[in-house]
Amino acid sequence: MTFAQIILPLNLKGTFTYKVPDVYLDEIEVGMRVLVPFRGKKIYTGIVTEIHQNAPEIFIPKEIISILDEFPILPNEQIRFWNWLSEYYLCNLGEIYRFAFPSSLKLESETYLKLKPNVTVDFELLEVNEMYLIQALEVRQLINLTEIEAFIPKKDIVKTINSLIDLKYIEVDEKIAEKYKAKEVAYLKIEDSVLKRNLPEILVELKRSPKQQELFLSILEKQTEHPEKPIRKSEIFAEGNYASTQLKSLSEKGLVQEYYLQKDRLEAYSGEMEELEKLTDSQLVAKSEIDAAFATGKNVLLHGVTSSGKTHIYLEKIQETVSEGKSVLFLLPEISLTKQIVQRLEKKYGKQLGFYHQKLTDFERVEVWRKVKNNELKVVIGTRNALFLPFQSLGLVIVDEEHDSMYRPREVSPYFNAKDSALVLAKTYGAMAILGSATPSVETYYLAKKGKLQYVYLGERFGNVKLPEYQLIDFKEAQDLKRVTGNFTTEVTEEIQNELHQKKQIMILHNRRGYANVVECESCGYVHYCSNCDVVMTYHKFSDEMKCHYCGQKATKPKFCPKCHSENLNVRGVGVEQIFEEISRIFPEAEIDRMDVDSMRKKFAYEKLYEKIENGETDIIVGTQMISKGLDFDDIELVVIPKADALLYVQDFRAEEKAYQLITQVSGRAGRISGKGKVMIQTYNPHHTVFQLIKENYSLKIYDHFLEERRKFLYPPFVKLILIELKHRREEKTNRASQFMGSILRKYLPEECILGPEKSPISKINLLYQYQILLKLPKGKKYSEYKNLVLKSFEEFDELPAYRSIKRIVFVDF
DNA sequence: AGCACGCCGACT
DNA sequence: GTCGGCGTGCTC
The pLDDT tens digits of the residues spanning A505-532 come to 999 999 999 999 889 998 888 898 988 8
**Nucleotide nearest A63, from its CA to each C1':** C12
- The answer to whether strand B lies under 7 Å from the CB of residue A809 is no
Sign for the CA dihedral angle at A316, A322, A324, A326 comes to positive
- The answer to whether strand B lies under 7 Å from the CB of residue A324 is no
Q: Which residues of A are annotated as a binding site for Zn(2+)?
A: 521, 524, 530, 533, 548, 551, 561, 564
- The answer to whether strand B lies under 7 Å from the CB of residue A805 is no
For position A239, what pLDDT does the model report? 67
Write down the mean pLDDT value for chain A: 88
Side by side, the strands of the sheet bearing A170-172 are: A143-144, A112-115, A170-172
Q: Which residues of A are annotated as a binding site?
A: 521, 524, 530, 533, 548, 551, 561, 564
Taking the C-alpha atoms of residue A810 and residue A724, their distance in angstroms, rounded to an integer, is 5
The distance (Å) linking the CA of A64 with the C1' of B3 is 22
For position A114, what pLDDT does the model report? 80
C-alpha dist (Å) from residue A536 to A408, A547, A550, A551, A728 = 26, 9, 10, 12, 21
Q: Which residue is nearest to nucleotide B4 (CA to C1')?
A: A39
pLDDT value at A269 more than 50:
no
Does residue A169 sit in helix, strand or coil?
coil
A734 Cβ partners below 8 Å, 6+ apart? A726, A727, A728, A769, A770, A771, A806
Which of the 8 DSSP states describes residue A527? B
Among residues A453, A462, A438, A434, the alpha carbon closest in space to that of A282 is found at A462
Written out in words, the top-level CATH class of the domain with range A469-512+576-711 is: alpha beta
A780 Cβ partners below 8 Å, 6+ apart? none
Among residues A469, A470, A428, A420, the alpha carbon closest in space to that of A444 is found at A420
Among residues A266, A453, A436, A443, the alpha carbon closest in space to that of A343 is found at A266
Domain A3-105 has CATH 3.40.1440.60: yes
Peptide bond into A757 cis (omega under 30): yes
User: For residue A662, is it left (φ>0), alpha (ψ between -120 and 50) or beta?
Assistant: alpha
The distance (Å) linking the CA of A730 with the C1' of C5 is 15
The distance (Å) linking the CA of A769 with the C1' of B9 is 24
Taking the C-alpha atoms of residue A292 and residue A179, their distance in angstroms, rounded to an integer, is 46
- The answer to whether strand C lies under 7 Å from the CB of residue A21 is no
- The answer to whether strand B lies under 7 Å from the CB of residue A798 is no
User: For residue A278, is it left (φ>0), alpha (ψ between -120 and 50) or beta?
Assistant: beta
Taking the C-alpha atoms of residue A516 and residue A557, their distance in angstroms, rounded to an integer, is 12
Taking the C-alpha atoms of residue A608 and residue A619, their distance in angstroms, rounded to an integer, is 15
The distance (Å) linking the CA of A112 with the C1' of C9 is 29
The distance (Å) linking the CA of A736 with the C1' of C6 is 19
**Nucleotide nearest A40, from its CA to each C1':** C11
Taking the C-alpha atoms of residue A299 and residue A423, their distance in angstroms, rounded to an integer, is 8
C-alpha dist (Å) from residue A381 to A343, A365, A400, A631 = 12, 13, 10, 19
Taking the C-alpha atoms of residue A125 and residue A106, their distance in angstroms, rounded to an integer, is 26
- The answer to whether strand C lies under 7 Å from the CB of residue A16 is yes
Do residues A476 and A684 make contact, with C-beta atoms less than 8 angstroms apart? Answer: yes
- The answer to whether strand B lies under 7 Å from the CB of residue A110 is yes
- The answer to whether strand B lies under 7 Å from the CB of residue A42 is yes
- The answer to whether strand C lies under 7 Å from the CB of residue A602 is no
Among residues A503, A453, A442, the alpha carbon closest in space to that of A654 is found at A442
Peptide bond into A414 cis (omega under 30): yes
- The more confident residue out of A147 and A495 is A495
Mean pLDDT of A59-84: 93
Pairing verdict, β A112-115 and A170-172: antiparallel
Task: Render the burial of A260-286: b for 16+ CB within 10 Å, e for the rest.
Answer: eebbbeeeebeeeeeeeeebbebbeeb
The distance (Å) linking the CA of A147 with the C1' of C1 is 36
Written out in words, the top-level CATH class of the domain with range A281-407+416-458 is: alpha beta
- The answer to whether strand C lies under 7 Å from the CB of residue A39 is yes
pLDDT value at A559 more than 90:
no
> Chain C positions under 7 Å from a protein CB?
6-12
Among residues A63, A76, A65, the alpha carbon closest in space to that of A29 is found at A76
Provide DSSP, A269-333.
--S---PPPPPPHHHHHHHHHHHHHHHTT--EEEEE-TTS-HHHHHHHHHHHHHHTT-EEEEE-S
**Nucleotide nearest A13, from its CA to each C1':** B1
Does residue A491 sit in helix, strand or coil?
helix
- The answer to whether strand C lies under 7 Å from the CB of residue A71 is no
The distance (Å) linking the CA of A11 with the C1' of B2 is 10
The distance (Å) linking the CA of A14 with the C1' of B3 is 20
For position A558, what pLDDT does the model report? 85
Q: Which fold has domain A720-812?
A: Alpha-Beta Plaits (3.30.70)
- The answer to whether strand C lies under 7 Å from the CB of residue A13 is no
For position A267, what pLDDT does the model report? 38
Taking the C-alpha atoms of residue A52 and residue A36, their distance in angstroms, rounded to an integer, is 17
- The answer to whether strand B lies under 7 Å from the CB of residue A145 is no
- The answer to whether strand C lies under 7 Å from the CB of residue A802 is yes
Model confidence at A173, pLDDT cuts 50, 70, 90, reads: low
Mean pLDDT of A245-261: 81
Peptide bond into A468 cis (omega under 30): no
Render pLDDT for A405-426 as a digit per residue (tens, 0 to 9).
999 999 888 999 999 999 999 9
**Amino acid in position A748:** Y
Model confidence at A276, pLDDT cuts 50, 70, 90, reads: low
For position A324, what pLDDT does the model report? 95
For position A263, what pLDDT does the model report? 47
pTM of the model: 0.83
Do residues A365 and A387 make contact, with C-beta atoms less than 8 angstroms apart? Answer: no
The highest-confidence range among A189-203, A367-381, A429-443, A754-768, by mean pLDDT, is A429-443
Domain spans, chain A:
3-105, 110-175, 183-263, 281-407+416-458, 469-512+576-711, 515-573, 720-812
Model confidence at A268, pLDDT cuts 50, 70, 90, reads: very low
Mean pLDDT of A648-676: 92
- The answer to whether strand B lies under 7 Å from the CB of residue A541 is no
Q: How much of chain A is in helix, strand and coil states, percent to nearest 5?
A: 40, 20, 40
Q: Which residue is nearest to nucleotide C11 (CA to C1')?
A: A39
**Amino acid in position A569:** L
| Alpha carbon distance, N-terminus to C-terminus of chain A | 44
Render pLDDT for A285-322 as a digit per residue (tens, 0 to 9).
999 999 999 999 999 999 999 888 888 899 999 999 99
> Chain B positions under 7 Å from a protein CB?
1-3
Q: Which residue is nearest to nucleotide C9 (CA to C1')?
A: A801
**Amino acid in position A383:** T
Do residues A687 and A680 make contact, with C-beta atoms less than 8 angstroms apart? Answer: no
Taking the C-alpha atoms of residue A607 and residue A596, their distance in angstroms, rounded to an integer, is 13
Strand C: which of residues 73-112 in chain A lie with Cβ below 7 A?
A: none
Q: Which residue is nearest to nucleotide B2 (CA to C1')?
A: A10
Render pLDDT for A580-628 as a digit per residue (tens, 0 to 9).
999 999 999 999 999 999 998 887 788 889 889 988 999 999 999 999 9
**Nucleotide nearest A38, from its CA to each C1':** C11
Identical fold, A281-407+416-458 and A469-512+576-711: yes
What residues form DSSP beta bridges with A518?
Answer: A572
Render pLDDT for A456-482 as a digit per residue (tens, 0 to 9).
999 888 888 888 999 999 999 999 999
For position A177, what pLDDT does the model report? 29
Taking the C-alpha atoms of residue A274 and residue A208, their distance in angstroms, rounded to an integer, is 48
Pairing verdict, β A569-574 and A592-595: unpaired
Does residue A668 sit in helix, strand or coil?
coil
**Strand runs (DSSP E) across A695-806, as ranges?**
720-728, 754-765, 768-777
pLDDT value at A180 more than 50:
no
- The answer to whether strand C lies under 7 Å from the CB of residue A350 is no
- The answer to whether strand C lies under 7 Å from the CB of residue A56 is yes
What residues form DSSP beta bridges with A651?
Answer: none
For position A275, what pLDDT does the model report? 61
Sign for the CA dihedral angle at A339, A345, A347, A349 comes to negative
Among residues A449, A437, A466, A475, the alpha carbon closest in space to that of A660 is found at A437
The distance (Å) linking the CA of A649 with the C1' of C10 is 48
The distance (Å) linking the CA of A95 with the C1' of B1 is 9
**Nucleotide nearest A92, from its CA to each C1':** B1
- The answer to whether strand C lies under 7 Å from the CB of residue A224 is no
**Nucleotide nearest A94, from its CA to each C1':** B1
What residues form DSSP beta bridges with A412?
Answer: none
